[in-house]
Chain A
Amino acid sequence: MTAYVARRAAQAVVLLVAVSFVSYAIMSAAPGGPLAVYLHNPEVTPDKIDLLRHQLGLDRPWYARYVAWLGGLAEGHWGYSYYTGRPVLDMIGERLPATLTLMAAAFTLALGLSFPIGLYAATHKYRWGDNLLSFGSFFAWAMPTFWFGLMLQLLFGVQLRLLPVAGMHEIGVTSAGDLLRHLVMPAMVLGLGSIASWSRYLRSSLLDTLNQDYVRTAHAKGLPDSRVLRRHVLRNSLMPIVTLMGLDLPALFSGAVVTESIFGWPGMGRLFLSALNNRDYPLQMAGLMISAALLIAGNLLADLAYAALDPRIRYQ
């Protein structure tokens, strides 16, 4: 198993470097480049542009810049923002907590809702409640995420005036209650897809388990239904859904780009969008690398979990 883990971890690192290389090449190949905004500005003389180009290292070919960037990253230096001149790591440090808070809230909400929903659906198979829930999950997947967000704003923010429409805090207020009120709608929007897929997955996983012989045996022994459900069914249905939850983490990070834009949430997603508009290459790469690392680590952990459960996989 150790050899397998080492091999897969090494593969993951190679994959991450490959992703960074291709992305850097695509980003650098964009016509115009970071200095295009200054070209039509009469205040900025060609001399100044050349100086700026040299200062940012843009006079070197892109692969030389890539090697320098990757070398720096290996030592923990994320570079300096082209736009603000500040260390990228500082800028991420200011924004990442907001995104992580949002992701954690969405994850908790999905966890809290998908289990009761999945359990109810599985124990009421093909009754009207189950049918309604399966209908609802199709709608959850079909709605454009941002439209769902706008509808929540319209209903709870504008019509009912129950929740704040945007932002993370009221100005000058830092209480937990205020944060929670601001979190409700963004977390719901970000978590909706996970609620739908986890509860559907849990339902089918539970239905598989409910048909197992050992469940019939447990019932035959005269154990109460609730105990059979908790100890025999739920426990054995958990492993596949735990993997699914891990694989959803990068999706939550990606989804945050849209969610943060709807609700003016001051996180990584909006930082990345502004980095795009400013052609701020180091900051763009930072956002991309964090999400790629999440994605690759998630896939790796899922594979390792399968391998731990099924020894045959290790020897492939």
Chain B
Amino acid sequence: MMSERRQTGLWTLAWSRFRRHRMALAGVVVLAAVVGAVAGAPLITHDDPTALDPDHSLAPPSAAHPLGTDDLGRDEFARVLYGGRISLLVGTTAMLVGTAIGVTLGSVAGYMGGWTDTAVMRLVDLVLSFPAIFLLLILLNWTGGRAPVLMMVGYLGLFGWTGLARIVRAEYLSLRSREFVEDARAAGAGTPRIIFRHILPNAMGPILVQAAFAVAGAMLAEAALDFLGFGLPPGIPTWGNLMTQAENYMTSNPVLVIAPGLVVTFTVVAVFFIGDALRDALDVRSR
């Protein structure tokens, strides 16, 4: 009962601090609008993002096509909405993969110490010594320079866990000698239970903050890979692919490249503001 009340207290306090950040509240509104529009795409537009209409290609914005049409006459507004599903999904799942790896390795290293810690930290050093883009491109070249969605998620996750592992390890180093951990150990809790049930909830602050920035980073990375021709297959309307394909029609129909870019930028800025406020609200030591 006591611990239950203290839990609520912590999150209420965090919310009251979060609320003070007006830009972060605006970020929540923007992000909710983007996620809502993308998830409810069929309710907002009746256009099929893949329906071809060559007679009306490269049409400027109009009532029928709020953002015009692309070179094959496909409705750009529908493509931005449906494309957002893939982009947000890739960003979020890549974050989940990276977070799972980072939390597992970081917490085990920090709690166990000794050679486990040394081995994990050396691994982090090694991964950080790889020039990420170059190795990522070599990996993507395996499948001819284009990767299926799941593979892309895995690759981005593989490169996005090192920072989190370091942060989680540091948290565990300071938490492992606290009384509640001693209590749990004395009560006979096993090591995995102590690591994931007792300590993990106390390390959630930095993990959440890091996760927010990881979503943004993965989305930007995926878009950049699309542009280089090493992203998701061109048939999938991601935000990155939309901008890349619109490059050739920049002079004839600039809205095709402007619109998806603005959507990406505002989505990522919203995530940044939220992450920044979370850092303050959850009292994460900034370095």
A138-168 interface mask toward B, CB cutoff 8 Å, 1 = contact, 0 = none? Answer: 1101111111001101100010000000000
Question: Is there an interface contact between B272 and A142, defined as CB atoms closer than 8 Å?
Answer: yes
The answer to whether A276 has its CB under 8 Å from any CB of chain B is: yes
The answer to whether A273 has its CB under 8 Å from any CB of chain B is: yes
Question: Is there an interface contact between B250 and A147, defined as CB atoms closer than 8 Å?
Answer: no
**Distance between Cα atoms of A146 and B126 in the complex (Å):** 29
Question: Is there an interface contact between B264 and A144, defined as CB atoms closer than 8 Å?
Answer: yes
Question: Is there an interface contact between A151 and B261, defined as CB atoms closer than 8 Å?
Answer: yes
Query: Which residues from 214 to 247 on chain B have a C-beta closer than 8 Å to any C-beta of chain A?
Result: 216, 220, 223-224, 227-230, 240, 243-244, 247
Question: Is there an interface contact between A146 and B129, defined as CB atoms closer than 8 Å?
Answer: no
The answer to whether B115 has its CB under 8 Å from any CB of chain A is: no
Known contacts A30-B141, A142-B269; decide if A288 and B125 are in contact (CB<8 Å). no
The answer to whether B51 has its CB under 8 Å from any CB of chain A is: no
**Distance between Cα atoms of A291 and B129 in the complex (Å):** 10
- Chain B residues lying within 8 Å of A287, measured Cβ to Cβ, are 134
Question: Is there an interface contact between A27 and B228, defined as CB atoms closer than 8 Å?
Answer: no
Of A139, A277, A292, the contact of B131 (CB 8 Å cutoff): A292
**Distance between Cα atoms of A253 and B130 in the complex (Å):** 13
- Chain A residues lying within 8 Å of B228, measured Cβ to Cβ, are 257-258, 261, 273
Of A138, A144, A151, A294, the contact of B220 (CB 8 Å cutoff): A144
Query: Which residues from 262 to 316 on chain A have a C-beta closer than 8 Å to any C-beta of chain B?
Result: 262, 272-273, 276-277, 279, 284, 287-288, 291-292, 294-296, 299
Interface of A is mostly: helix
The answer to whether A243 has its CB under 8 Å from any CB of chain B is: no
Q: Which of B34-42, B95-103, B202-210, B251-259 binds A?
A: B251-259
The answer to whether B32 has its CB under 8 Å from any CB of chain A is: no
**Distance between Cα atoms of A284 and B134 in the complex (Å):** 9
Query: Which residues from 119 to 162 on chain B have a C-beta closer than 8 Å to any C-beta of chain A?
Result: 125-126, 128-135, 137-139, 141-142, 145
Question: Is there an interface contact between A19 and B130, defined as CB atoms closer than 8 Å?
Answer: yes
Question: Is there an interface contact between A144 and B223, defined as CB atoms closer than 8 Å?
Answer: yes
Task: Find the B residue at minimum CB distance from A277.
Answer: B145
Report the contact-size class of chain A (Cβ under 8 Å from the partner). Answer: 35 or more
Question: Is there an interface contact between A257 and B133, defined as CB atoms closer than 8 Å?
Answer: yes
- Chain B residues lying within 8 Å of A22, measured Cβ to Cβ, are 126, 130
Question: Is there an interface contact between A276 and B265, defined as CB atoms closer than 8 Å?
Answer: no
- Chain A residues lying within 8 Å of B240, measured Cβ to Cβ, are 144
**Distance between Cα atoms of A292 and B145 in the complex (Å):** 21
Question: Is there an interface contact between B134 and A153, defined as CB atoms closer than 8 Å?
Answer: no
Of A31, A139, A146, A153, the contact of B142 (CB 8 Å cutoff): A31
Task: Find the A residue at minimum CB distance from B262.
Answer: A147
**Distance between Cα atoms of A19 and B128 in the complex (Å):** 10
**Distance between Cα atoms of A291 and B135 in the complex (Å):** 10
Question: Is there an interface contact between A261 and B137, defined as CB atoms closer than 8 Å?
Answer: no
Most buried by A among B133, B220, B257, B258: B133
Task: Find the B residue at minimum CB distance from A294.
Answer: B131
- Report the tally of A-B residue pairs with Cβ distances under 8 A: 127
Most buried by A among B138, B139, B266: B138
Shortest distance from the beta carbon of A178 to any chain B beta carbon, whole Å: 23
Of B224, B251, B265, the contact of A139 (CB 8 Å cutoff): B265
Question: Is there an interface contact between B131 and A142, defined as CB atoms closer than 8 Å?
Answer: no
**Distance between Cα atoms of A142 and B223 in the complex (Å):** 12
The answer to whether B172 has its CB under 8 Å from any CB of chain A is: no
A10-29 interface mask toward B, CB cutoff 8 Å, 1 = contact, 0 = none? Answer: 00000110110011001101
**Distance between Cα atoms of A145 and B268 in the complex (Å):** 13
The answer to whether B111 has its CB under 8 Å from any CB of chain A is: no
The answer to whether B77 has its CB under 8 Å from any CB of chain A is: no
**Distance between Cα atoms of A232 and B227 in the complex (Å):** 46
Question: Is there an interface contact between A158 and B250, defined as CB atoms closer than 8 Å?
Answer: yes
**Distance between Cα atoms of A65 and B134 in the complex (Å):** 20
Shortest distance from the beta carbon of B213 to any chain A beta carbon, whole Å: 10
**Distance between Cα atoms of A166 and B227 in the complex (Å):** 16
- Chain A residues lying within 8 Å of B139, measured Cβ to Cβ, are 26
Known contacts A158-B251, A258-B228, A292-B130; decide if A27 and B138 are in contact (CB<8 Å). yes
Question: Is there an interface contact between A23 and B135, defined as CB atoms closer than 8 Å?
Answer: yes
- Chain A residues lying within 8 Å of B224, measured Cβ to Cβ, are 144-146, 258
- Chain A residues lying within 8 Å of B269, measured Cβ to Cβ, are 138-139, 142
Shortest distance from the beta carbon of A66 to any chain B beta carbon, whole Å: 14
The answer to whether A250 has its CB under 8 Å from any CB of chain B is: yes
Question: Is there an interface contact between B134 and A150, defined as CB atoms closer than 8 Å?
Answer: no
Task: Find the A residue at minimum CB distance from B261.
Answer: A147
The answer to whether B273 has its CB under 8 Å from any CB of chain A is: yes
**Distance between Cα atoms of A299 and B134 in the complex (Å):** 18
**Distance between Cα atoms of A143 and B223 in the complex (Å):** 10
- Chain A residues lying within 8 Å of B254, measured Cβ to Cβ, are 154
Closest 3 CB pairs of A and B: A291-B131, A142-B268, A147-B261
Footprint of B on A, CB under 8 Å? 15-16, 18-19, 22-23, 26-27, 29-31, 135, 138-139, 141-147, 150-151, 153-154, 158, 250, 253-254, 257-258, 261-262, 272-273, 276-277, 279, 284, 287-288, 291-292, 294-296, 299
Name 9 A/B residue pairs within 8 A (Cβ), A-sorted.
A22-B130, A142-B272, A144-B264, A147-B261, A257-B133, A258-B224, A261-B227, A287-B134, A291-B131
Footprint of A on B, CB under 8 Å? 23, 125-126, 128-135, 137-139, 141-142, 145, 216, 220, 223-224, 227-230, 240, 243-244, 247, 250-251, 254, 257-258, 261, 264-266, 268-269, 272-273
Q: Please name 7 further chain A to chain B contacts, defined as beta carbons within 8 Å, in addition to the given A147-B264, A273-B137, sorted by A numbering.
A: A23-B138, A139-B269, A154-B258, A254-B131, A276-B230, A277-B145, A295-B131
